[in-house]
Chain A
């Protein structure tokens, strides 16, 4: 995946950990924006306001 398998040993391991780190940060920012945008609507819908 992502061409990581072409790397060897330590470089491949570091690249795998790096991909997970980048994915986590992207998800944190992305879901944060999504939460901020949709939270009021969802609260209103669930709260029955």
Chain B
């Protein structure tokens, strides 16, 4: 690997780390499309993406464990459903790869998923809601207020299909519903090579009604296992490339420190719209690459890569700019508690 490529991976890792540290999710979903754009085989792009997610989530979980934001009962239940989903997702990728369709179908799924979530987050940010993101100021130990539970989650909680389990925050829900959500998100993790945080965290909140801080901490705990299992499954078939994962992780661990420090001094609502736009640009990047393949225009691959790197740079830059601006403002200069 050339020094230039190594530096690119480390720098890309820093950008992703800032996003992950700040939003508690997102960022890792940029790795697999970037690797696909750079010409790595689907198996390596997905497998190395999962290994990177695994390493990043280990670091993030170590931090959230100290904050008491992990529901281990929910986490273990999720692991069971996710493991089955991951295995099914991996088999689908390997089957599609044999047919020569893996790259196209993964890319189209990415476009639809990233585009859909990007539209949702941008819409919520514009109307001033808090959907699709992470609130950093909620007490994770408090019982959840019934008014704070989304209507869909109340409906799902009303299905008393035994065994019922009680989660932190006083939420009671059927184990089968948890397993179903876990399977669906595991399937997407295995298929797309992502940790699934940007799908699973909202799913835990909107579908099961878990308080947001517990959803984030438990999600990270669960990603650690699903990422590890997914990495192992892909590594068995030569899908994990350490020369990709190691520099990405070295960069992201540093970026995550900066991103998590910024959470205590930056108003997330200011940034959320950039996050939504980044998801939309990510979707556009994959669509441009697909169009390039279809039209035989190699130059579109570079346009796509520039869009991915540019969108990550834009949101990371917005987080860092807001953090520095807040620190320099006289009213907030002495009030920060970030590490």
Contact = CB atoms under 8 A, between A and B. Distances in A.
Interface in B238-279: 240, 242-243, 245-246, 249-250, 253-254, 257, 261
Interface in B22-68: 51, 54-56, 58-59, 62
Nearest to B236: A13
Given A2-B242, A16-B235, A25 B327 contact: no
A20 B327 contact: no
Task: Give the interface residue-count category, chain A.
Answer: 20 to 34
Contacts of B232: 13-14, 16-17
Interface string A9-21: 1101110110111
Of B59, B243, B336, most buried by chain A (CB within 10 Å of CB) is B59
Contact of B59 (A14, A16, A28, A43): A28
B55 A16 contact: no
Contacts of A28: 58-59, 62, 253
Contact of A21 (B58, B235, B254, B333): B58
Contacts of A1: 242-243, 246
B327 A16 contact: no
Nearest to B234: A13
Contacts of A2: 242
Interface in A1-46: 1-2, 4, 9-10, 12-14, 16-17, 19-21, 23-25, 27-28, 31-32, 35-36, 39, 43, 46
Given A13-B232, A14-B232, A47-B328, A27 B242 contact: no
Contacts of A21: 54-55, 58, 228
B324 A23 contact: no
Nearest to A27: B253
Given A16-B242, A17-B232, A47 B327 contact: yes
B228 A17 contact: yes
B107 interface: no
A43 B327 contact: yes
**3 nearest CB pairs, A to B:** A13-B235, A27-B253, A24-B58
29 contacts: A1-B243, A9-B236, A13-B235, A13-B236, A16-B51, A16-B242, A17-B51, A17-B231, A17-B232, A20-B245, A20-B246, A20-B249, A21-B55, A23-B55, A23-B250, A24-B249, A27-B253, A28-B58, A28-B59, A28-B62, A31-B253, A31-B254, A35-B257, A35-B339, A39-B339, A43-B327, A46-B327, A48-B328, A49-B333
Interface of B: 51, 54-56, 58-59, 62, 228, 231-233, 235-236, 240, 242-243, 245-246, 249-250, 253-254, 257, 261, 324, 327-328, 333, 336, 339
Given A13-B235, A36-B339, 11 more contacts: A13-B232, A16-B51, A16-B232, A16-B235, A19-B246, A21-B58, A27-B59, A27-B253, A31-B257, A35-B257, A39-B261
